[in-house]
Amino acid sequence: MIIIGEKINSSRRQIAEAIASGNREYIQNEANVQSDAGADYIDVNAAAFMEKEAEYLKWIIEVVQEVTELPLCIDSPDPEVIKKVISLVKKPPMINSITLEPSRLDGILPLVLDYRATVIGLCQTGNQMGRTAVEKVEIAGRLVEKVTSSGISVDALYIDPLVFPVGADSNSACATLDAIEEIMRQFHGVHTVCGLTNVSHGLPNRKLVNRTFLAEAVARGLDSAILDPSDKQLLGALRASLMLMGKDEYCMGYIKAFRKGLLA
Amino acid sequence: MSNDIFEKLTKAVLDGKNKDAVSFCREAVEKGMTARAVLENGLMPGIRKVGELFSIGEYYLPELLISGKAMQAAVAELEPLLNAGGGKFHAGKYLIGTVKGDIHDIGKNIVMMMLKGNGWEVTDLGVDVPPEKICTAIADGDYDIFGMSALLTVTMPAADETVKAITKAGLRDKIKIMVGGAPVTQEFADKIGADGYAKDAFEAVNTAISLTGKTR
């Protein structure tokens, strides 16, 4: 299971303030907390700053790499920004993200090759998001084709089947879960990844919905997630579901996480 | 008696009971009540109450949606009668769309449903709508309000560009402009020169009413 720590994101108010005021300690603490909790990548995002995005993202990358050895997940909707900052990374990064939109494919796939990076592919064309399982799987197939025909190995691709609020459409979470299963079955070697918070939009007790969704997604084959690893209940649900799915030999991942006090 | 049926209608909307809302509408009309009275005394208090409950966090998104659907079904039942009176049925005309570069539509669709439930005639331009298309729609139509949604920080500038395009096309005085979406704030709305902002679907209805003075 690949865990991408989501906390250093400029759409969060405290992070945006820390970035704007140059508060290194705050950002570094967020990196350490996630690294200690078992993150495999640290997501870094400054997209809320628009024209200053590249400048701030460079700063974040430097600040985060001072305190952690973990690779980064460079999170920007703008291929130009990714191009400007990627040379600063010390380890092969993950790039977040491509869609089927040609400018994003053309801008980012060469960087994936050059930097031996991995990449998140959203089940989204230039003007349409995959809503049904069939649409998601169809777009996933085209992403696999685009990525592999560029000379990139299929296991560098993390397909995000997109998660929509179940409160707005009772079938939307099921569509995502079905797509995860089908994508993992059809495209051998590819990974699936998703964020969790969108699923519970508009509902009470959101965290319960988020972690239950994660457990169900893991049961369908999800092998990566963008989440807050310092959320002990969420990590608890994750470690327990991996164990129950036979993906934790001798249950040692679960036991070790428990001993470190990471589960609740 | 009339109070009784109005209460039942209000409750049907509050509980999101589609069939009840429609059958109570029929019952009320058969008993000789005017469609307008049924709407104003039975249905509207229900949908307003739903709005209040949602805005204080007691009602959740799915409840908002099913109440909106019950309201729409009931209004559809009454609509021929309301129109037969000869008076203008709709509160006002609303043009809506998601800004260029943004393909999110869930929030926009919820706003549409609430507007329709509250008597607005809504025309949907869809998602990823270029400013030129919006200007053409405004020029060719007689809308009271154009409302746009921007769900991403990176697509917020498109809302600004849209307002500028409307102004440049000489259409700014023809229409009121509203803006909404997760990252949008009142300050942003003020900065780009929009007339109104709403943080959620219910506030959108209230803002629409206060901008135009139009309620049904």
pLDDT value at position B213? 84
pLDDT value at position B216? 63
pLDDT value at position B40? 87
A204 inside 8 A of chain B by CB? yes
Contacts of A95 (CB under 8 A, 6+ apart): A73, A74, A82, A86, A108, A111, A112, A117, A118, A119, A120
pLDDT value at position A178? 98
**How close A48 comes to chain B (CA, Å)?**
5
Domains and CATH numbers, chain A: 1-69 (no CATH), 92-225 (3.20.20.20), 231-264 (no CATH)
Residues constituting chain A: 264
Chain B nearest-CA residue for A170: B62
Region A225-239 average pLDDT: 97
Q: What are the structure tokens assigned to A111, written together?
A: 């960087």
Predicted model pTM: 0.89
pLDDT value at position A229? 96
Distances (CA, A) of A118 to A96, A223, B201: 9, 14, 39
Q: In this predicted model, which residue has the larger pLDDT, A218 or B69? A: A218
CA triple A123-A129-A130, angle to 5 deg: 60
User: Which chain A residues contact residue B103 at CB under 8 A?
Assistant: 124, 127-129
- Provide the 8-state DSSP code for B39: I
A14 inside 8 A of chain B by CB? no
User: Which chain A residues contact residue B153 at CB under 8 A?
Assistant: 10-11, 47-48, 50
Interface test with B, best of A101, A129, A164 (most B CBs within 10 A): A129
Interface test with A, best of B55, B60, B103 (most A CBs within 10 A): B103
pLDDT value at position B87? 58
Cβ-defined contact of B60 to A202 (cutoff 8 Å)? yes
Q: How confident is the model at residue A122 (pLDDT cuts 50, 70, 90)?
A: very high
Whether residue A11 has pLDDT greater than 60? yes
Model pLDDT for residues B152-170, shown as the tens digit of each residue: 888 999 999 999 999 999 9
Q: CB-hemisphere CA count at 13 Å for B60?
A: 12
User: Which chain A residues contact residue B101 at CB under 8 A?
Assistant: none
Whether residue A263 has pLDDT greater than 60? yes
Cβ-defined contact of B65 to A127 (cutoff 8 Å)? no
Q: pLDDT averaged over chain A?
A: 96
A13 inside 8 A of chain B by CB? no
Chain B nearest-CA residue for A48: B153
Residues constituting chain B: 216
pLDDT value at position A244? 97
Q: How confident is the model at residue A8 (pLDDT cuts 50, 70, 90)?
A: very high
A128 inside 8 A of chain B by CB? yes
Residue B60 main-chain phi, psi, to 5 deg: -110, 170
Q: In this predicted model, which residue has the larger pLDDT, B51 or A44? A: A44
Cβ-defined contact of A127 to B128 (cutoff 8 Å)? yes
Ranges of chain B whose pLDDT falls below 50: none
- Paired with A206 in beta bridges are none
Identify which of A59, A54, A51, A76 has the alpha carbon closest to the alpha carbon of residue A19: A59
**How close B105 comes to chain A (CA, Å)?**
10
CB B89 within 8 A of CB B83: yes
Task: Return d(Cα A11, Cα A17) in angstroms, integer.
Answer: 10
User: Which chain A residues contact residue B65 at CB under 8 A?
Assistant: 167-168
pLDDT value at position B117? 82
Task: Return d(Cα A82, Cα A176) in angstroms, integer.
Answer: 28
pLDDT value at position B89? 66
**How close A248 comes to chain B (CA, Å)?**
37
Cβ-defined contact of A127 to B103 (cutoff 8 Å)? yes
Domains and CATH numbers, chain B: 2-84 (1.10.1240.10), 92-212 (3.40.50.280)
Q: What are the structure tokens assigned to B146, written together?
A: 């154009």
- Paired with A43 in beta bridges are A73
Chain A nearest-CA residue for B155: A50
**DSSP strand pairing (A191-195 vs A157-160):** parallel
Q: How confident is the model at residue A37 (pLDDT cuts 50, 70, 90)?
A: very high
Region A26-40 average pLDDT: 97
CB A107 within 8 A of CB A83: yes
Interface test with A, best of B58, B99, B153 (most A CBs within 10 A): B153
Q: How many CB pairs under 8 A join A and B?
A: 44
- Paired with A44 in beta bridges are A74
pLDDT value at position A195? 95
Whether residue A116 has pLDDT greater than 90? yes
